[in-house]
């Protein structure tokens, strides 16, 4: 069922609290990637153009309920002001009398950014009293933070049940796109899953193997699958307590005749700083560690990607932040970008690879929600979505 969209609301002159995901990467107080801020622009611009008195809010990092100066949203307010071509001041806190005064000064088409929500201990605890303080600031609530929709926090779930609530354009696009993957993917449907640990993505692997026609596995998690096949993985990152689970995924893939792709050659080194060597998986020595899929595996993965009509990719295929171990991820990124099928990418490292190669405009949908997109594909209920009334409901 579709959720109520902001276009269903009369926002003119109303105080609108809009939950965004401005949890952007930072270095030395500067934003290094503003993708998530730009992704929120369609919703924020629409609200401002329709004379809302806009109160933006987000978390940044994990300050654990305390004020941490380096996690202030001041750089975000600055970048928002540039992108929106209007002043977006940072509030003096999240809630309280001073913040209320700043909200009361907002005119139609004005915007204010609250300070980091996680400076308040009530945010992650979904404290009803804190949720009520957020609700007291606004007449209408909009959730456009898909990246935080899997968290039942005060700003994503609690406040949504206290005032008339809607979703924004980014949230709508995420739900529609990921629903297409779950409900009506054009076959053949191929998923590429990388990253460090099987334990982090076991649930999505278990679910995907019941939906896809092909599943390609790389990154550190592939080592656990190789170990499950009886391969020597040497000093590689591996989760020995997940070997039985990996065998379970392999068995389910076999029973469903899913094409399960694992590395047949790998890039190894004595350590992360050591000289890389390419070799078949059967030749890995006990004193070596696997850091990337090999060129033959990358070529095979690229061929399979080209044949797919629906493609989902989450997670790097090697230690991609190191140039000597980034080849597999780069080959896969280029293959996904060139594919004729419908392409969806989620997860920060995968998105970073696409951005670094300047291929983002060739991807049909880049999800802003790493964990949220995985939980959605697993079929889990996202609290931030469930709290919004369905389209057609009054919900006030």
Q: Are residues 309 and 189 in the same domain?
A: yes
For 93-102, the pLDDT digits (tens) are 999 999 999 9
Task: Select which of 65, 109, 234, 348 is catalytic.
Answer: 348
Residue 343 in this model has a pLDDT that exceeds 80: yes
Q: Are residues 112 and 245 in the same domain?
A: no
Q: Are residues 142 and 289 in the same domain?
A: no
For 276-305, the pLDDT digits (tens) are 999 999 999 999 999 999 999 999 999 999
Residue 396 in this model has a pLDDT that exceeds 60: no
pLDDT band at 356 (very low <50, low <70, confident <90, very high): confident
- Which pairing describes strands 265-269 and 289-293: parallel, antiparallel, or unpaired? antiparallel
Domain boundary among 172, 199, 228: 172
For 235-246, the pLDDT digits (tens) are 999 999 999 999
Residue 210 in this model has a pLDDT that exceeds 50: yes
Q: Are residues 32 and 132 in the same domain?
A: yes
Q: Are residues 209 and 352 in the same domain?
A: yes
How far, in whole angstroms, is CA 87 from its chain's centroid?
28
Average pLDDT over the chain reads: 95
What is the average pLDDT across 150-164? 97
CB 334 within 8 A of CB 317: no
Give me the pLDDT at residue 163, please. Answer: 98
The domain total for the chain is: 2
Q: Are residues 107 and 203 in the same domain?
A: no
Which residues are CB-contacts of 57 (< 8 A; sequence separation ≥ 6)? 17, 18, 19, 20, 94, 113, 114, 117, 134, 155
**CATH number for the domain including 92?**
3.40.50.1260
Residue 268: inside a domain:
yes
Task: Select which of 197, 279, 299, 380 is catalytic.
Answer: 197
Residue 201 CA to residue 266 CA, distance in Å, equals 21
* Catalytic status, residue 348: yes
* Catalytic status, residue 87: no
Residue 288: inside a domain:
yes
* Catalytic status, residue 70: no
Q: Are residues 206 and 98 in the same domain?
A: no
Residue 1: inside a domain:
no
Q: Are residues 93 and 209 in the same domain?
A: no
Q: Which residues pair with 54 in a beta bridge?
A: 16, 111
**What residue numbers bound the domain in which 139 lies?**
6-172
For 79-88, the pLDDT digits (tens) are 999 999 999 9
CB neighbours of residue 358 within 10 Å:
9
Give me the pLDDT at residue 1, please. Answer: 58
Residue 394: inside a domain:
no
Q: Are residues 203 and 325 in the same domain?
A: yes
CB neighbours of residue 150 within 10 Å:
21
For 95-151, the pLDDT digits (tens) are 999 999 999 999 999 999 999 999 999 999 999 999 999 999 999 999 999 999 999
* Catalytic status, residue 36: yes
Between 371 and 4, name the one with better pLDDT: 4
Domain boundary among 143, 172, 201: 172
Domain boundary among 128, 146, 172: 172
Q: Are residues 147 and 296 in the same domain?
A: no
Task: Select which of 19, 36, 118, 201 is catalytic.
Answer: 36
DSSP code string of 6-59? GGGS--TT-EEEEE------EETTEES--HHHHHTHHHHHHHHHTT-EEEEE--
């Amino acid at each position: 069922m579709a959720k109520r969209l902001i276009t269903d609301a009369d926002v003119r002159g109303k105080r609108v609290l809009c939950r965004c995901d401005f949890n952007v990467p930072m270095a030395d107080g500067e934003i290094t990637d503003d993708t998530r801020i730009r992704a929120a622009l369609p919703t924020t611009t629409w609200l401002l153009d329709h004379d809302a008195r806009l109160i933006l809010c987000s978390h940044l990092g994990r300050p654990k309920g305390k004020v941490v100066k380096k996690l202030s949203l001041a750089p975000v307010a600055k970048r928002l002001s540039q992108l929106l071509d209007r002043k977006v001041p940072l509030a003096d806190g999240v809630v309280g009398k001073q913040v209320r005064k700043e909200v009361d000064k907002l005119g139609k088409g004005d915007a204010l950014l609250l300070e980091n929500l996680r400076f308040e201990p009530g945010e992650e605890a979904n404290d009803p009293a804190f949720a009520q303080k957020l609700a007291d600031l606004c007449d209408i609530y909009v959730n456009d933070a898909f990246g935080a929709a899997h968290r039942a926090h005060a700003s994503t779930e609690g406040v949504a049940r206290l005032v008339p609530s809607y979703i924004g354009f980014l949230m709508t696009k995420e739900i529609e796109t990921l629903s297409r993957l779950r409900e009506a993917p054009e076959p053949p449907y191929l998923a590429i899953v990388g990253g460090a640990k099987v334990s982090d993505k076991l649930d999505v692997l278990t679910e995907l193997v019941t939906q896809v026609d092909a599943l390609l596995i790389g990154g550190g998690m592939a080592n656990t699958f190789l170990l499950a096949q009886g391969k020597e993985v040497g000093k590689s990152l591996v989760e020995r307590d997940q070997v039985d689970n990996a065998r379970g995924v392999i068995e389910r893939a076999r029973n469903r005749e899913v094409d399960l792709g694992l590395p047949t050659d790998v890039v190894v080194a004595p350590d992360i700083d050591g000289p890389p060597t390419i070799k078949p998986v059967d030749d890995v020595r006990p004193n070596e560690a696997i850091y990337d899929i090999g060129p033959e595996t990358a070529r095979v993965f690229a061929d399979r990607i080209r044949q797919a009509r629906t493609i989902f990719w989450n997670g790097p295929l090697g230690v991609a932040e190191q140039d000597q171990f980034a080849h597999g991820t780069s080959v896969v990124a280029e293959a996904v970008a060139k594919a004729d099928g419908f392409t969806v990418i989620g997860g920060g490292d995968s998105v970073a690879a696409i951005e670094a190669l300047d291929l983002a405009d060739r991807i049909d949908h880049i999800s802003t929600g790493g964990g949220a997109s995985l939980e959605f594909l697993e079929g889990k209920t996202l609290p931030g979505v469930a709290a919004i009334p369905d389209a057609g409901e009054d919900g006030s």
